[in-house]
Copies of this chain bind each other. A is one copy, B any other.
């Protein structure tokens, strides 16, 4: 399932405070000045897409995600690969290392992560 930019915005907010009411999500979106009903609309659409569950408690709805951030991220990466990197990780990794300006710190963190992972999983 595919998330639009605005949907990512609300999902990011929700993941940070779920389960949450629409109002809580709105407040957790400090940097944006969406109307309450806008948030509500997004939430409803996400429920409809099966990405969130909505549970009524009294007259309020409480929302919770059915999709973890990790899964959503994977699918976003997948979709980037498909459209922009010939569908392969290799291509993306190559780009990251060669064409993006990673700081020395980022590079060394990456190297370290790789080294660790090499041993632990495979």
Contact = CB atoms under 8 A, between A and B. Distances in A.
Interface of A: 5, 8-9, 70, 72-74, 76-77, 80, 83-85, 89-90, 93-100, 102, 104, 106-107, 109-111, 113-115, 117-118, 122
A100 to B, nearest CB: 6
B84 A72 contact: yes
A100 B83 contact: no
Q: In the complex this chain forms, how many copies of it are found? A: 2
A70 B89 contact: no
A interface SS class = helix
From A72, A94, A95, name the one whose CB has the most chain B CB atoms within 10 angstroms: A95
A95 B34 CA distance: 29
A93 B110 contact: yes
Nearest to A93: B110
Given A70-B99, A74-B99, A77-B95, A118 B107 contact: yes
Contacts of A72: 84
A54 to B, nearest CB: 23
Contacts of A115: 111
